[in-house]
């Protein structure tokens, strides 16, 4: 019944009356905490001063802990027997997906832990089969990145495969560029920056910049590139695009 009442209060009532009513249900919610209209289906809710949950979220988890000024943005989908624990100013931005797949039972479920000032920005996918920990002032940046805590190893022959579950440990002051994928069981030490579109399948144990490949120069003119591409239409039918503005863009 408490989960039902919590969900109704968070979804329907004015923001100013939510903290005292939630405290009557046994939750710990500061008067300055704010919950916009969102469906929040939880066992335990603890919101520190000036923390907030934005609008349009669907949150169905075991426990949510947001310390001072921590926040969840808008339009996030966070589902499963899991827990959220954010240190001060820790944050999830907008339109992220955090899910837990079927896995052996854990006492409280896995935890998405964000250290002080750490942030998951927008449009990312987080698999929380096992715990994911961000240290302080680390960022999952841009959009379109994925963090996985489970996967499979397929045998070299036949249909056999083995499941791999492993927590992901991300240190302090780590930056992960857009469109990157972090695999299960990975540890990333403090002070690492990961370039966009990188695949991180093993531990990164030295600070510094890590990228997936070296940017290289290919000496081809546009005409040579066109000659190497499949031809969709004959040359006489190709549309010629000319700049019609007051000046060419390369002539400021």
Q: What is the pLDDT of residues 135-183, one digit of tens each?
A: 999 999 999 999 999 988 888 888 888 888 899 999 999 999 999 999 9
Query: Domain boundaries in the chain?
Result: 2-214
Alpha helices in the chain (DSSP H): 2-12, 18-24, 222-228
pLDDT, tens only, 80-101: 999 999 999 999 999 999 999 7
pLDDT in the model for residue 199 = 94
What whole-number distance in Å separates Cα of residue 230 and Cα of residue 14? 60
- Of 25-39, 46-60, 169-183, 231-245, the poorest mean pLDDT is in 231-245
Q: Which helix (H) or strand (E) holds 243?
A: none
Q: Which residues pair with 83 in a beta bridge?
A: 63, 111
pLDDT in the model for residue 160 = 83
pLDDT band at 103 (very low <50, low <70, confident <90, very high): low
**Residue 155 vs residues 118, 150, 160, 164: alpha-carbon distances, Å:** 38, 17, 6, 13
What whole-number distance in Å separates Cα of residue 225 and Cα of residue 187? 41
| Reported CATH class of domain 2-214 | mainly beta
Average pLDDT, the chain: 89
Q: Which residues pair with 210 in a beta bridge?
A: 194
Alpha-carbon torsion (32, 33, 37, 42), positive or negative: negative
Whole-model pTM? 0.84
């Amino acid at each position: 019944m408490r989960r039902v009442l919590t969900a109704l209060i968070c979804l329907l009532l004015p923001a100013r009356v939510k903290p005292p009513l939630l405290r009557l249900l046994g939750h710990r919610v500061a008067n300055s905490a704010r919950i916009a209209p969102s469906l929040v289906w939880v066992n335990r809710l603890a919101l520190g001063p000036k923390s907030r949950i934005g609008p349009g979220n669907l949150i169905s988890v075991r426990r949510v802990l947001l310390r001072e000024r921590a926040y969840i943005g808008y339009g996030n989908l966070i589902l499963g027997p899991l827990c959220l624990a954010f240190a001060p100013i820790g944050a999830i931005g907008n339109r992220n997906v955090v899910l837990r797949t079927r896995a052996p039972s854990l006492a409280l479920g896995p935890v998405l832990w964000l250290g002080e000032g750490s942030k998951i920005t927008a449009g990312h996918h987080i698999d929380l089969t096992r715990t994911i920990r961000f240290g302080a002032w680390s960022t999952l940046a841009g959009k379109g990145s994925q963090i996985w805590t489970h996967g499979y190893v397929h045998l070299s022959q036949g249909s056999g495969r083995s499941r791999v579950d492993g927590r992901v440990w991300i240190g302090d002051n780590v930056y992960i560029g857009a469109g990157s994928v972090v695999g299960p069981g990975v540890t990333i030490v403090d002070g690492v920056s990961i370039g966009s579109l990188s695949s991180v399948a093993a531990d990164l144990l030295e600070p510094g910049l890590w990228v997936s490949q070296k940017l290289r120069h290919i000496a081809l003119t546009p005409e040579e590139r066109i000659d190497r591409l499949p031809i969709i239409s004959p040359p006489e039918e190709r549309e010629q695009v000319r700049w019609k503005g007051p000046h060419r863009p390369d002539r400021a």
